[in-house]
A and B are shown apart, each in its own frame.
Chain A
């Protein structure tokens, strides 16, 4: 069966520090991968999606970037965090007809 791993579960980072969140998928190959952010009191916003290694599409301009160095690995990064980057980040794979989500990372920028 397919599983998706996301870490860390929680993270507190100072403004201006770098960020790296990792997501890996097991039990499937060449999945479509997605990063969503859920800000307090808001729905889920699609940040990035990837249909293959090295292929990244950005949905909204922002302070974040994404990379896909391996088929089943998706990384969300920032060089310098802003307060507005705080939120709950969710990784997902192959939402077509069914979305499989990771357990999320709660990021607080202080």
Chain B
């Protein structure tokens, strides 16, 4: 069984400030981990993914995330927030084994950027 917990349904940061969105996971098998972004009334776009290679993963739009097995965490960060980063962000987990490919999502974090 797998689950994802995103701490904070709403996060506000000032433009230019650090963005930190938290994600903790639970998985009975080695996990693959993902961060997606969703703009209003659109589908989900993959930001980055962890698939058991490097623990520090770099994605699009300047985002990165670090897989920490000991903390069962996969927090998303960006050094300097931009107005265009305002969106909803979802963390997701799937099993790394064939047959465990279903994505389980967190409830999402809405990011607001303050000018």
Cβ contact within 8 Å between A49 and B102 = yes
Cβ contact within 8 Å between A106 and B41 = yes
| A95: nearest chain-B partner, CB-CB | B103
Given known A-B contacts A97-B32, A98-B49, A43 and B43 have beta carbons under 8 A apart:
no
Q: Which residue from B32, B34, B41 sits with its C-beta under 8 Å from A104?
A: B41
Q: Which residue from B36, B42, B108 sits with its C-beta under 8 Å from A99?
A: B36
Q: Bin chain B's interface residue count.
A: 20 to 34
- How far, in angstroms, from A97 to B108 measured CA to CA in the complex? 20
In the complex, whether B46 has a CB less than 8 A from a CB of chain A is yes
Which residues on the B side are within 8 Å of A104 (C-beta)? 41-43
Cβ contact within 8 Å between A46 and B102 = yes
In the complex, whether B77 has a CB less than 8 A from a CB of chain A is no
Cβ contact within 8 Å between A98 and B106 = no
Min C-beta distance of A36 to chain B, whole Å: 8
Which residues on the B side are within 8 Å of A94 (C-beta)? 101
In the complex, whether B90 has a CB less than 8 A from a CB of chain A is yes
Given known A-B contacts A49-B102, A104-B42, A104-B43, A99 and B92 have beta carbons under 8 A apart:
yes
In the complex, whether A67 has a CB less than 8 A from a CB of chain B is no
Min C-beta distance of B63 to chain A, whole Å: 15
Cβ contact within 8 Å between B94 and A95 = yes
By Cβ-Cβ distance, the 5 closest A-B pairs, closest first, are: A43-B107, A101-B43, A44-B105, A96-B101, A101-B44
Binding site for B on A (CB under 8 A): 6, 32, 34, 36, 42-46, 49, 59, 88, 90, 92, 94-99, 101-104, 106
Binding site for A on B (CB under 8 A): 32, 34, 36, 41-46, 49, 51, 90, 92, 94, 101-108
A-B contact pairs, 10 of them (CB 8 A): A34-B103, A43-B90, A44-B103, A92-B103, A96-B94, A97-B32, A97-B49, A97-B51, A98-B34, A102-B43
